[in-house]
């Protein structure tokens, strides 16, 4: 038989009507934010497959369920003044949802704090599907299953009798299993304090490890570049350390010394028979306040992520007009006057990189037919790759970049790599395949501009004509830049180049400055500090970026590549290579040829796309994401892929082959 007891609700600092509107407004904004973020993480295959997003996806789904179930029950209580319908089943369900989802959020954040270390410092632990299953996926499943089962047993099937009060929120939180000291201590210590300490310790440890690694690599720590990471990690650590741990410690102490405190209170108040009232007054509202506190924390965290998405636009008052002011500070470069005697025209260069080639592969581009003649390939393909992406390079060598087939078509391919913190050698791979160019800069996204400049440098030194008798020989020789996660339709690319070569209306100047790809216009710098593409006002004080060609997949003449390398010596470096190339194009007054259909960087690697068969939803996605003509019959040259095995599967399907992936050098 279920007993009912009228408990006095702790003093209400905020009246119920005000709480109702606070919760309602917060619910609307956070619900929209959760659905928006979760939708984009699930709909984008790259984001969905990224290991670092899996814990976030589960956490967002957990919080979304909490918002849809628990918060509406609280709204009903604050609106009516009591629990409705007054049913023990509803009370048990409410307590189960409240405890389970809040504990699950804490456990997932703790797990994500540990997995960040693995993803950053121990990527080899996740190199195979088996390792990813046991190290990445299985812990998330086990932790989630444990929390659900624990609260399912202790709340829905407790070894005791609950007492409900329908005049209090969550029916007065009558968790009778808290009378069992061992279960109570386990819940507080293992399910709450341990995950909280894990979040604090591993968040601070991650910051310390990053700084120590840079110190071991003898790199100067620029706090401005680490500001985003520092603020995020310290904010998370301090939030849990100062606001959550004190409540848990108080509750743990209360549970450990409850009997002694109760006996003392009984001795003092035995004659007045008010020992239970005194005890409830001291500690009875602790669980109520903890529940309210956790709900506020969830709302704060969701509002925090909402702020990450949209930010605060106070920066707009300090931005300069790009159209009105940028040209006043830039170096204007006339490409018709810098073919020879560059320094006489532009002065001494102010941005010569100190980087060098670890593997320059100087004979890759030119082949000698006689001691006096060197013939360069008609098309050079430079594939930007990271040192650790051997599987992607191997898949490309086995599919669209088969060496003997490209050589017969007068095409040469090279992979451009950087280094890593361990200075891993790629000499064996270079000696076997002869298609590696390596620079002495760590492969890192914010160093992409260095790699782009070094590629232009390599083309200028080793793959442009030095013959004075044929000064325009490079006007009909091309270089194609592409990332290592793309499938390239070589035949379609050669057809496009053939049409350019046969275009009788193109002038010499147009061939000199020829560059084409996916043109991005009206792109704005991201100012919010937590955005991945964050750019501070000191680094870029202008309100808009110039038009630029996406550097993930684009084509240019090798003559123009040499001009861009010359221009790079007189332009200030910028984090992102595509923006940097856009700034160079602007200073050179280069006409960027828009070709968003053939060189689309938003195309996904699938059989339907390769065969140019679009579904209704795919058409709308392409329309909004890339502004392509969805009724076009043109097959794209660049098709974004993801994994090496996926690329091979597509190749086998298109060409009716049966090649299998090889991990060997």
Strand 436-442 versus strand 411-419 pairing type: parallel
pLDDT at 278 > cutoff 60 = no
Classify the phi-psi angles of 356: left when phi > 0, otherwise alpha if psi is within -120 to 50, otherwise beta: beta
Check residue 451 and give its pLDDT: 94
Q: Are 31 and 67 in contact (CB under 8 A)?
A: yes
pLDDT at 20 > cutoff 50 = yes
Count, residues in the chain: 665
**Helix/strand number for the chain, H first, E second:** 26, 14
Q: Among residues 553, 443, 545, 433, which one has the least CA distance to residue 487? A: 553
For the segment 269-275, the average pLDDT, to the nearest whole number, is 39
For the segment 642-663, the average pLDDT, to the nearest whole number, is 78
Tokens 């502004």 map to which residue? 627
Classify the phi-psi angles of 106: left when phi > 0, otherwise alpha if psi is within -120 to 50, otherwise beta: alpha
pTM (whole model) above 0.95: no
- At residue 478, the 3 state secondary structure works out as strand
Q: Domains of the chain: which residue ranges?
A: 3-310, 326-365+374-655
Q: Quick: pLDDT tens for 291-335.
A: 555 556 555 555 555 554 444 444 555 678 888 888 777 888 888
Q: Which of 215-229, 354-368, 511-525 has the highest mean pLDDT?
A: 511-525
Q: Who wins on pLDDT, 556 or 597? A: 556
Domain 3-310, second-level architecture: Up-down Bundle (1.20)
- Vertex 160: Cα angle to 158 and 161 (nearest 5): 105
Check residue 305 and give its pLDDT: 52
Q: Are 320 and 543 in contact (CB under 8 A)?
A: yes
- Average model confidence (pLDDT) for the chain? 78
- Alpha-carbon distance of 380 to 462, in angstroms, equals 11
- Alpha-carbon distance of 312 to 295, in angstroms, equals 24
Give residue 446's pLDDT band: very low, low, confident or very high (50, 70, 90).
confident
Strand 515-520 versus strand 367-370 pairing type: unpaired
Which range among 77-86, 134-143, 169-178 shows the weakest confidence by mean pLDDT?
169-178
- At residue 557, the 3 state secondary structure works out as strand
Q: Regarding the domain delimited by 326-365+374-655, which CATH topology (the fold level of the hierarchy) does it fall under?
A: Spore Coat Polysaccharide Biosynthesis Protein SpsA; Chain A (3.90.550)
Check residue 612 and give its pLDDT: 42
For the segment 463-475, the average pLDDT, to the nearest whole number, is 62
- Alpha-carbon distance of 97 to 65, in angstroms, equals 9
Classify the phi-psi angles of 171: left when phi > 0, otherwise alpha if psi is within -120 to 50, otherwise beta: left
Q: Quick: pLDDT tens for 351-399.
A: 888 888 999 998 888 755 444 455 678 999 999 999 989 989 999 999 9
For the segment 34-40, the average pLDDT, to the nearest whole number, is 85
Q: Who wins on pLDDT, 452 or 239? A: 452
Q: Among residues 107, 183, 88, which one has the least CA distance to residue 148? A: 107
* 3-310 matches 326-365+374-655 in fold: no
Give every CB contact of residue 88 below 8 A, 6+ residues apart in sequence. Answer: 2, 162, 164
Q: Quick: pLDDT tens for 151-201.
A: 998 888 887 888 888 888 888 877 787 778 888 888 888 888 898 889 889
- At residue 270, the 3 state secondary structure works out as helix
Q: Are 286 and 7 in contact (CB under 8 A)?
A: no
Which range among 111-115, 146-150, 629-633 shows the weakest confidence by mean pLDDT?
629-633
Query: How does DSSP classify residue 616?
Result: H
Query: How does DSSP classify residue 546?
Result: P
């Amino acid at each position: 038989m279920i007993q009912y007891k009228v408990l006095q609700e702790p003093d209400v600092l905020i009246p119920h009507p005000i709480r109702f509107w606070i919760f309602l407004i917060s619910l609307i904004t956070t619900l929209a934010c959760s659905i928006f973020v979760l939708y984009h993480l699930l709909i984008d295959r790259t984001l969905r497959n990224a290991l670092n997003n899996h814990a976030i996806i589960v956490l967002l789904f957990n919080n979304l369920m909490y918002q849809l179930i628990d918060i509406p029950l609280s709204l009903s209580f604050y609106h009516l003044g009591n629990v409705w319908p007054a049913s023990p089943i509803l009370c048990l369900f409410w307590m189960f949802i409240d405890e389970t989802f809040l504990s699950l959020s804490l456990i997932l954040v703790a797990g994500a704090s540990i997995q960040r270390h693995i993803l950053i410092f121990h990527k080899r632990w996740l190199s195979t599907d088996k390792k990813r299953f046991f190290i990445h996926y299985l812990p998330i499943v086990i932790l989630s299953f444990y929390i659900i089962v624990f609260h399912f047993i202790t709340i829905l099937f407790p070894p005791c009798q609950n007492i409900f009060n329908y005049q209090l929120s969550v029916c007065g939180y009558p968790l009778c299993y808290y009378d069992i000291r061992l279960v109570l201590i386990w819940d507080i210590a293992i399910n709450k304090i341990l995950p909280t300490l894990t979040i604090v310790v591993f968040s601070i440890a991650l910051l310390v490890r990053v700084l120590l690694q840079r110190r071991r690599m003898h790199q100067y720590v620029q706090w401005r570049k680490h500001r985003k990471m520092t603020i995020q990690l310290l904010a998370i650590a301090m939030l849990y350390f100062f606001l959550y741990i004190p409540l848990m410690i108080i509750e743990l102490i209360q549970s450990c010394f409850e009997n002694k405190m109760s006996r003392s209170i009984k001795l003092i108040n035995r004659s007045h028979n008010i020992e239970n009232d005194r005890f409830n007054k001291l500690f009875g509202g602790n669980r109520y306040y903890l529940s309210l506190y956790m709900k506020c924390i969830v709302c704060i965290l969701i509002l925090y992520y909402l702020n990450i998405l949209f930010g605060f636009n106070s920066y707009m008052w300090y931005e300069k007009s790009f159209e009105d002011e940028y040209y006043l500070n830039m170096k204007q470069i006339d490409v018709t006057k810098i073919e020879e005697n560059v320094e006489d025209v532009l002065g001494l260069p102010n941005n010569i990189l100190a980087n060098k080639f670890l593997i320059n592969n100087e004979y890759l581009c030119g082949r000698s037919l006689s001691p006096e003649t060197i013939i360069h390939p008609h098309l050079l393909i430079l594939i930007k790759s990271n040192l650790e992406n051997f599987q992607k390079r191997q898949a490309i060598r086995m599919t669209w970049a088969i060496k003997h087939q490209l050589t017969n078509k007068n095409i040469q391919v090279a992979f451009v790599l950087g280094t890593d913190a361990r200075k891993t050698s790629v000499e064996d791979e270079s000696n076997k395949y002869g298609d590696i160019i390596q620079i002495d800069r760590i492969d890192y996204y914010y160093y992409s501009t260095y790699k782009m400049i070094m590629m232009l440098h390599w083309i200028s030194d080793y793959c442009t004509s030095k013959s004075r008798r044929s000064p325009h020989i490079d006007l009909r020789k091309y270089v194609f830049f592409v990332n290592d996660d793309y499938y390239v339709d070589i035949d379609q690319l050669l057809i496009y180049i053939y049409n350019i070569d046969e275009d009788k209306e193109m002038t010499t100047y147009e061939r000199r400055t020829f560059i084409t790809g996916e043109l991005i216009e009206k792109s704005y710098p991201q100012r919010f500090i937590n955005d991945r593409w964050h750019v501070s006002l000191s680094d870029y004080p202008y309100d808009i970026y110039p038009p630029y060609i996406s550097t993930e997949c684009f084509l240019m003449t090798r003559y123009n590549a040499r001009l861009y390398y010359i221009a790079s010596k007189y332009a200030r470096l910028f984090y992102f290579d595509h923006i940097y190339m856009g700034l160079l194009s602007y200073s050179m007054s280069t006409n960027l040829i828009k070709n968003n259909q053939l060189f689309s960087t938003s195309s996904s690697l699938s059989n339907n796309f390769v065969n140019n068969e679009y579904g209704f939803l795919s058409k709308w996605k392409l329309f909004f994401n890339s502004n392509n003509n969805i009724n076009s019959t043109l097959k794209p040259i660049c098709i974004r892929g993801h994994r090496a095995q996926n690329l091979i599967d597509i190749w086998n399907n298109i060409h009716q082959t049966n090649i299998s992936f090889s991990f060997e050098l």
